Structure 1
Amino acid sequence: AQRFASIRAGVIAGILGSGGLYLGVMLMAGGSIYWVLWGLLFFVLGFSQKYWLPILSYPIESAWNLWLYRAQKRHPERSVELLSQHSAFWNEHQRLPLRGLESLLVTVHKDNQSAAQEAMMQLSNGLQSWAVQATQIEANMQRLEACDTIENIAEVHEELIVSEQLKGDVGTWLHGFFQSSQEVNTALKQNSYQQAAALKVVIKALKTRLEFLSSKKSAEVQRFGEIAKTWLRLVEKYLDDMLKIQEIPNPYIVGIPLKEGQDVFIPRPQVNKRIERLLVDRSAPPLLLYGQRRTGKTSLLNNLVKRLPDNFIMLFVDFQGPLSSAQDHLSFFYNLGRAMIKAAKKHYPNLTFPPLTEDTLRSDPATRFDEWLDEIEEAIGDKILLLALDEFITLDHAFHKGRLERATILGIFRNIIPHRSKFRFLFSGSHTFEELEHWPNYMINVQIAHLNYLSEEEARQLIEQPIKHFPLRYTTEALERVMTLTRCQPALLQSLCGDIVQIKDAQAVYKRLTVEVEDVEAAAPLVLEHGSLLFVEILEEENDQHGQAILRFMASHGEGAVVSLDALAAQLPGDLESRLALLLRRELIEPVGDEGYRFQVELVRRWF
């Protein structure tokens, strides 16, 4: 009996079967045929108990569970103890749903999440597993309904139980609320201008969900609709109140590349024209977008896709992502293909690339990747594919650490350039190929587009009109001082102007909208504090200790000071020429005729 049902079924079948055997013996001793039928009945009942016993015991279990639920209402401090006595935990064979179990679980979850989670784990693989999902849904709903301030909305995603198992309308709504909560949380940490833009996105999403509400009649979806209306009202009120405050919008973005179409992105027409001209060149040379850190290379690439001719498909690949941690060729080519497919889906939704799996690459990664490129060429038809590879220096780091072979990776690139006419390469980084070992042997006839400081006209636009109807006005002296301190370096301009906005926003209304030289000088120390990442990168990554010693010595002479070669040689003996050459190549210092050297950017000098 145990083999067909369970241990308990075996026990019951044994008892009833023994009774049936006893009755059979009695029959053989001269008893009635009815005793045989009774014995057979007992025997069948023993084997089929898992079908009829749950029905028979259901009223008793329901009455017991109801008593537990009412006891929990009277003694909420005993919720965990009473939950453990629920029949779902001592009669795992009950097939019928024990209504009310989810309510008890939700109550326990409020006060003791660990106990509730443990109980749900026990139930998840049993016959009452439905209660686990019902509990998650009800607990989520109660949390969402409890949000009565925008701060609650921003924090609730940390408490929601959201999993891929929640399907259908319920799963869609819960994932939507989870995302909206995260977006509100991010928005509240930004300045007012960016905050307003982010909250408008949340409002649009909530309104979109409510538009589809009328076609859904389930009670759960209707509850979600009421929650969405409450959230919409709270977010709209918060945004309306915020906009009524006379605060200067701060559109400046520091430390992250500018995405496509952002107002504060300043086009570089000269660099763009050079790139576009070289891309249509029939010789198709590899291009290098070269510039020092934080000069806007990634931002330019993010915005280049809309400026290219219609016959170009541009795929942006960031080598600082998963590609930088590739441990072998299989991982490298898989992540490169994955990044290309992802970029194509983002900008060219009607273009379908063939899949590239790890199993496909496993036998011979380089060869299989090259074969995959054949399929890519067929997929793009008569288009030209531009592969923009940002921060390629991380690939060189992988070569030096021995994780990747230079000849294999660069050999693939070298082979593609002359033999695949539909492909173009645009590398981007703060190093030239000549600085890197062996790269010039593979990257032949490279054309460089140099990205450096903004022009004076471009800098004025970023300072005075970063967005339409920007209210701040700079005096002539203040404008000149901003450009002097930053040398029109894009990241430093964004940082300094952003701090100026914060300073002006705290001033009295009558002087708030005019920027004086004093405001610029007050903001300069804040840049050194808030923009430490840029300066740390310069200090730690661009130079060795000897180069840093040169910079500190020059910085000690004050703003605009020219330090002679003799003074540098007397203070810092050694291989001065090569160290100065590196600092010149990194565009940290510049020669001043035969007099000596000085810092290119005053704020960089102040950091040292």
Structure 2
Amino acid sequence: MRPVNPYIVGNPVKDKTGFFGRQDIFRDVMRVLRQRESNAIVLYGQRRIGKTSVLLQLEKQLAAEGEFTPVYFDLQDKAAKSLPEVLYELSQHISRVTGHTIASPADFGRTGDYFRSTFLPQIAEKVASGGLVLLFDEFDVLDSPARTQASEAFFPYLRQWMTDLQKVKFVFVIGRRPEDLSVRTMYSFKDIQSTRVSFLTPKDAEDVIRQSERNGSLKWDDSAVRRILELSHAHPYFTQLLCSVIWENANEEAPGAAPVVVARDVENAIPQALKFGANAFNWLWDGLPPAERVVVAAMAEIKDEVITQEKLIETLNQSGVRLVARELEFAPETLIDWEVLIKADGGYRFAVPLLRRWVLANRPLRRVKDELDRLDPLADTLFQAGQGFYNNNDADTAEQQLRQALNINPNHLKARLLLGRILLEKGRLQADGTPREVVGKYLDQFMPGGALEADVRDRPRRGGAGRALRIESIRLVPEGGGRLVFKTPFEIRLEAVALENVDGVVFGAGINTMQGARLMTFLGDSMGLVSLARGQKASVRIRVPGLGLPSGKYVLDAGARSGG
């Protein structure tokens, strides 16, 4: 009889025997659940890192220990539903776990009062002494820019719910960093502890690899274990993926025996792993913003294991990508935050080398460069307009549209090339070289980059928090003193006063084009949300890094808005 492949690829790990590690996360969760003054924790991490597996194992552990009554609830497909529909489905899950009579859908009105004032008090009598623990998976699907039915109603409801009830605790799982969520969601998570679900420890990852030795279906040489850890960096999904492919290959070649895997077998399995894991690789890739994709594609093509910033810029420039936009300059730091890259010896390297191999084979830089054109939707719209005018033989209007597009996004390659073609046709651009080189030389003169003409006026005005808040002054201060030079970091300092009580205020600044299009956004004090009483003053510092904008005039504005 053929043995069973013990490696789980793509699905959450539900069986305790196939789950390894994460004790540090469980300790953080239990510490929060047992504190009287806290009732929630956020677990976050990149896609395929094992967050759902952690939540399902937590559900089993809490149920087995009996101190709390856990209820798992997946919000993946709930964003389009109304608040009563979401609460009714949640009540069904709670009723099944507690044995409570399932309520009628008609009981759930638009405000959610029945769920909070009738249903939950009845449930409180049937749960364990520690209370009800709601395990919300994929919670950030409600944090949609589209402002769906559920998200519009659920966040205000949740804030009141978390404040009012004592015997309900929450574990939220999200696929983004908490600071990447919208202001209204951040306000719901104000003062809530967060814990990252990251890579496994090397010891736990080795336990994952050697689990086939338990049922005697496959043995592992130490060299093979080391090579898998090198390729996967103890990422649970990629570790399981490689092991599963190797297991299938070994048992096809020697059925009935217990083959010993060596490092060469691991190398031979890589092409199949890249193929079988295509959906997961694509899903990870799709979670990256356009600028980060360009940087990852460029780094994958550099043969050095450790890649310096200088080498990255050189590679991008050689490929026709001009590293000017702020999104590209800060992409490596974003990728480090998301554990796609790690810092090493003065540069960067891929956290998971297997991901690098997939990017090199499936997302070459020449293909990804087109994504630069989508860094700013307004720039792309202007390019499309310019292309339309050019096709209708109106080169002058086309040139104006393309220049505006490049002022917003200097990296818009199609706009650069079309502008170069127009200038060549008009006889205003003459140089030797390829079209890309010729256009580049012209654009270096057209917009050399670096300057920002500022017209700063201190004036009382009402901020985005409406009538509740007044911004009294705005000052620009160079970092370290001296003259204000926008290529180097500086601070925007705001002084504000509350005209009435206001909750959940977030301070921010932005840089716009003269036409009002937003280019960059900076949030104050690490996006700290504050509450102010009437007459109370607030002083806020917003740090702005060196700006990589082309020369020209821009509008710098600052203010505040209420997250409530």
Shared fold by TM > 0.5?
Answer: yes
Kindly provide the CA deviation profile for residues 307-346 of structure 1, in whole angstroms up to 9, marking residues without a partner as x: 234220000001114x2441x222222222233334x1xx
Give how far 1:381 is off. Answer: 6.7
2:33 maps to which of 279, 285, 289: 279
Q: Which residue of 1 aligns with 2:331?
A: 579
- Separation of aligned partners in 2, 1:267 and 1:432: 22
Aligned match for 2:112, one of 366, 370, 375: 366
The answer on 1:606 being equivalent to 2:357 is yes
More strand by percentage: 2
- Rounded to whole Å, the distance in 1 between the matches of 2:180 and 2:142 is 14
Equivalent in 25, 40, 45 of residue 291 of structure 1: 45
Matched, 1:440 2:186: yes
Question: Structure 2 residue aligned with 1:547, among 279, 282, 292?
Answer: 292
The 3-state SS of whatever aligns with 1:387 is strand
Going from structure 1 to structure 2, the CA distance change for 1:543 and 1:306 (only over 3 Å counts) comes to closer
Please report how far the alpha carbon of residue 354 of structure 1 lies from its aligned counterpart in structure 2 after TM superposition: 4.2
Please state whether the residue corresponding to 2:143 is helix, strand or coil. Answer: helix
RMSD: 2.2
Name the aligned partner's letter for residue 410 of structure 1: F
Question: Quick check: 1:469 aligned with 2:209?
Answer: no
The residue number in structure 2 matching 1:236 is none
**Cα distance between partner residues in 2 of 1:600 and 1:591:** 9
Q: When you count helix as a share of all residues, which structure comes out higher?
A: 1
Q: Deviations over 1:66-119 (max 9, x none)?
A: xxxxxxxxxxxxxxxxxxxxxxxxxxxxxxxxxxxxxxxxxxxxxxxxxxxxxx
| Match status 1:565 vs 2:309 | yes
| TM, length-normalised to structure 2 | 0.58
Q: Would the alpha carbon gap of residues 498 and 566 (structure 1) be closer, same or farther in structure 2, given more than 3 Å must change?
A: same
Provide the rounded CA distance (Å) in 2 between the counterparts of 1:370 and 1:297.
Answer: 28
8 Å contact kept, 1:251–1:467: no
Alignment counterpart, residue 390 of structure 1, candidates 128, 131, 137? 137
- Give how far 1:509 is off: 6.7
Say if 2:343 is the partner of 1:591.
yes
Alignment partner, residue 515 of structure 2: none
Cα deviations across residues 176-196 of structure 1 (Å, max 9, x unaligned)? xxxxxxxxxxxxxxxxxxxxx
1:522/1:374 CA distance change after superposition, 3 Å = same
1:333-348 equivalences in 2 (<5 Å): 333-342=87-96, 344=97
Partner of residue 530, structure 1: 276
Taking CA–CA contacts closer than 8 Å with sequence separation of 6 or more, which of the two structures ends up with the larger relative contact order? 2
Aligned to 1:170: none
Q: Which residue of 2 aligns with 1:457?
A: 203
Alpha-carbon separation, structure 2, partners of 1:256 and 1:335: 23
Q: Match of 1:380, as an amino acid?
A: V
Unmatched tracts of structure 1, length 5 or more: 1-242, 345-350
Task: Kindly state the Cα deviation for residue 538 of structure 1 after the two structures are TM-superposed.
Answer: 1.2
Where 1:288 maps in the other structure, the secondary structure is strand
Whether contact under 8 Å (2:25, 2:195) holds in the other structure is yes
- Alpha-carbon distance in 2 for matches of 1:314, 1:508: 45
Aligned counterparts of 1:457 and 1:274: Cα–Cα separation in 2: 20
Tell whether the 8 Å contact from 1:485 to 1:602 is kept in structure 2 after alignment. yes
Which residue of the partner structure matches residue 7 of structure 2? 252
1:266 pairs with one of 14, 20, 32? 20
| CA–CA distance in structure 2, aligned partners of residues 339 and 505 of structure 1 | 41
Structure of greater Rg: 1
Out of 410, 417, 426, the position equivalent to 2:155 is 410
Aligned residue type for 2:208: L
**Is contact 2:216-2:258 (8 Å) kept?**
no
Output the CA distance in 2 between the equivalents of 1:392 and 1:492.
24
CA distances 1:449-495 after superposition (whole Å, capped 9, x unpaired): 22111111111111112563334222221111011011111111111
Offset at 1:271? 1.4
- 1:467, 1:373 → 2: CA distance? 47
* TM superposition shift of 1:497: 0.3
1:25-40 correspondence runs (5 A): none
CA, structure 1 residues 597+527, in 2 after alignment: closer, same or farther (shift >3 Å)?
same
> Which amino acid in 2 is paired with 1:583?
L
CA displacement at 1:581 relative to structure 2 = 2.9
Whether the aligned pair in 2 keeps the contact of 1:334 and 1:361 (CA below 8 Å) is yes
Q: TM-score, normalised by structure 1?
A: 0.54
Which whole-Å CA distance do the structure 2 matches of 1:586 and 1:412 have between them?
A: 30
CA distance in 1, matches of 2:92, 2:256: 55
Question: Structure 1 CA distance, aligned partners of 2:223 and 2:274?
Answer: 22
- Percent identity of the aligned residues? 26
Distance 1:381 1:473, change over 3 A: closer
